[in-house]
Structure 1
Amino acid sequence: MENIEFNVGIDKLSFFVPNYFVDMTDLALARAVDPAKFHIGIGQDEMAVNPATQDIITFATSAAAQILSDEDKKQVDMVIVATESSVDESKAAAVVVHGLLGIQPFARSIEMKEACYAATAGLVLARDYVTLHQEKKVLVIATDIAKYGLNSGGEPTQGAGAVALLVTANPSILKLNADNVALTQDIYDFWRPTGQAYPSVDGKFSNSVYINAFSQVWDEYCRRYDATFSEFSAIAFHTPYTKMGKKALLPKIESENETIQKHLMDQFEKGIVYNRRVGNLYTGSLYLSLISLLENSELLTAGDKIGLFSYGSGTVAEFFSAQLVPGYEKHLRKAEHEALLNQRVRLSIEAYEAMFESKIDLNHNDSFDDPTLYSISEIKENHRLYRTK
């Protein structure tokens, strides 16, 4: 099967995380765990934490606001929000984000769900839509809050934040190839029934399902496109914790020569620099890793082919590729992203636990004084009102 060629892809991209984090050494000591279990065992150094006045809508709006110009807002024809942390069972978060951003009114706004995978479905929809409407743009946002409960097994793999991707014709950063291979399996490795506060997780089983899913979609990708690892300059992975992608990649490249193995593993490390400091973004984890790779690798050049592995428990997995556009490095936001991470407030464990337990009661009218640019300012008549600039 031949790869279909067209020039549509990611023109702009950015991420946002809340202004608070927990150091994983602090968390390990508080939980009577060897810090090496967190730093080395799962590969996490910091974990993003959000106050109750910030949610998936404020994250999504903040991430997108960094990259959208006034002209973009006039041309965006669709807003897609991917999340598994929805704040409403009916109204799409994208509708609220659309309004907060001031995007032109004649746009379609939808929310998509399939665990951590949905942003990839949104990206494919955006690519195909722009292919048919070359003058239009589509905003895809992955936004989530990963919470498992205090003192739970999943606690060190929590996180919060959003990634925004602007999809256009003649993109400035990445051209998306039409070589996607998807896999669906009805498996309960991670799930959260409606009304259940935290997910149910079969941790070891989920790890094995992830590894097996990558193996299956990679083998099928190779069968369809006669592909080899040697043609990829890097592969970015969905990253619930940073060791996960490594566990999937290593068995598949063990038969490759040492040069290919070392190159792909070195690039993998560049793709988890930001993830180590943020934690799990669910739908945004793959795309945070992509940003980390682009902004931290010193080996990538225009024309390089990058593989992307997307995974959502339950399960849907997908492998696809993209190619770097000449001059892509001029459109990255490394300085801004590093400043965002470096300026956050390190929480004590007591402050983190208090923030974790803090909730907003939608049935009680209230106002809040969170100075963050986008935050919940008021609860009125059972709905959230947001502060904007």
Structure 2
Amino acid sequence: MATIIGIDKIGFYSPEYYLDLTDLATARQVDPAKYKIGIGQDQMAVLPADQDIVTMAANAAAQILDQADRQQIDLLIFATESGIDQSKAAALYLQELLQINHQARAFEIKEACYGATAGLQIAYDHLAAHPTSQKVLVVGADVARYGIATAGEVTQGAGAVALLITRQPRLLGLQQPTAYYSEEIMDFWRPNYRDTALADGKFSTAQYLRFLDLTWQAYRAKTGTQLTDLTAVLFHIPFTKLGLKGLRQLTTDLAAATKESYFDYFQQATGYNRQVGNLYTGSLYLSLLSLLDQQQLAAGSKIGLYSYGSGAVAEFFTAVVQPNYQQTLQVACHQQQLHQRQRLTVAEYEQFFMQTGLTDDHDFQIKRQSPHADFYFAGQTDQRRIYQRKEPVK
């Protein structure tokens, strides 16, 4: 049997609080249709003070890792643009919380929303180059913050996606080659002195679509793949309307009957994104999880994936659905997470927003606010972050 490298398991975590965007629209004196149709979002995850990128990543990864996985992982990659330290990698906190094998490389990578895809491709190359290596954990965890009553407010969110990469994966086999493109542009950025992002929205949308065309055409040239060879195409989803624009661009020349299938899959693939909001590095993979959880795909189906990170780097690649992949999914767990969240008022959301992004050098303690989370951020002592878990790792 030929060796396949790909995604064996996917874990997902989002905070236990959310804001309904109808409430936000009312508070901002905006027609709700502008948010729910014009932007394509229904709800927005809101981060409580007892969660950050480390705890969200740990809560996501703990869903999928057993003791054997923890011992067999020899590479841990943490992708984020919401870093908590200018020097120490969040991967090291995560390794300790999850009790992952210490005979492992552990580091953090950053390139806006592209980071998790960079981690995924590094994981592929690592397993291909090291026959004795067994498993790689890639996580993407972020908090999307633009500020209260700003243009980007409606596209905020928070959460983490964890990917276990192995040989002979049970979910998706990654295919090579891929196509990628990078160019220094100023469409979105966050200087060190800010805890909210800056963005040129219209310019960023134009670059997202331009990079999509460049990477798709390069992928076609490399592989001979036609759009109709792909069962579905998934996108980086900072908000669902942007991915929809990308799909419209790709399918312009297709007959109406052929287009319909791609748009049906897109709707299913953005179900979770509409409820959670922007995950930055995890957004593409949350969309992938939404599709896998909601749709029965035939083994051998080929899925196209478009990853984009402002600044900017983009990549187009494909993955093949594996036989009986449904047996590995945790659909009930994911749906329960979303169902058990607590709805906030706009005033409560604004209060939560002001609690995050702590930079004070004094000691402080944080009262636990996430009753269902296994891991949480408890505060700071001697300028050292303190993490705790509800129960010992099994």
TM-score range normalised by the length of the shorter chain: over 0.9
4+ long deviations beyond 4 Å: none
Unpaired runs of 5+ residues, structure 2, are none
Cα distance in structure 1, aligned partners of 2:366 and 2:222: 54
Conserved 8 A contact 1:362-1:379: no
Query: What is the letter of the counterpart of residue 238 of structure 1?
Result: H
Deviation string 1:209-265 (CA, Å, 9 cap, x unpaired) is 101110111111111111111110111100000011110121221211223211111
Conserved 8 A contact 1:301-1:324: yes
Determine the structure 1 residue equivalent to 2:178.
Answer: 180
Cα distance in structure 2, aligned partners of 1:179 and 1:290: 20
Cα distance in structure 1, aligned partners of 2:101 and 2:251: 47
Cα distance in structure 2, aligned partners of 1:356 and 1:108: 34
Determine the structure 2 residue equivalent to 1:367.
Answer: 365
Larger mean CA deviation between 151-160 and 376-385 belongs to 376-385
What TM-score, normalized to structure 2? 0.95
Cα distance in structure 2, aligned partners of 1:9 and 1:233: 18
Cα distance in structure 1, aligned partners of 2:240 and 2:3: 32
Larger mean CA deviation between 365-374 and 311-320 belongs to 365-374
Cα distance in structure 1, aligned partners of 2:240 and 2:309: 16
Query: How is 1:92-111 mapped onto 2 (pairs within 5 angstroms)?
Result: 92-111=89-108
Shift, 1:194, TM fit: 1.5
Cα distance in structure 2, aligned partners of 1:224 and 1:131: 20
Conserved 8 A contact 1:61-1:374: yes
Conserved 8 A contact 1:159-1:281: yes
Determine the structure 1 residue equivalent to 2:124.
Answer: 127
% of aligned pairs identical?
A: 46
Q: In the alignment, is residue 259 of structure 1 matched against residue 260 of structure 2? A: no
Instruction: Give the direction of change, closer, same or farther, for the CA distance of 1:324–1:150 in structure 2 (3 Å limit).
Output: same
- Choose which of 174, 180, 194 in structure 2 pairs with 1:196: 194
Cα distance in structure 2, aligned partners of 1:105 and 1:197: 32
Q: In the alignment, is residue 378 of structure 1 matched against residue 379 of structure 2? A: yes
- Choose which of 224, 228, 232 in structure 1 pairs with 2:226: 228
Determine the structure 1 residue equivalent to 2:161.
Answer: 163
- Choose which of 52, 56, 71 in structure 2 pairs with 1:55: 52
Q: SS in structure 2 opposite 1:255?
A: coil
Larger mean CA deviation between 267-276 and 245-254 belongs to 245-254
Unpaired runs of 5+ residues, structure 1, are none
Query: How is 1:334-353 mapped onto 2 (pairs within 5 angstroms)?
Result: 334-353=331-350
What TM-score, normalized to structure 1? 0.97
Provide the alpha-carbon RMSD of the alignment: 1.1
Query: What is the letter of the counterpart of residue 318 of structure 1?
Result: E
Larger mean CA deviation between 14-23 and 132-141 belongs to 132-141
Conserved 8 A contact 1:229-1:260: no
Larger mean CA deviation between 357-366 and 131-140 belongs to 357-366
Shift, 1:361, TM fit: 5.0
Query: How is 1:55-94 mapped onto 2 (pairs within 5 angstroms)?
Result: 55-94=52-91
Determine the structure 2 residue equivalent to 1:303.
Answer: 300
Count of aligned pairs: 384
Shift, 1:14, TM fit: 1.5
Q: In the alignment, is residue 248 of structure 1 matched against residue 279 of structure 2? A: no
- Choose which of 278, 283, 286 in structure 1 pairs with 2:284: 286
Shift, 1:130, TM fit: 1.3
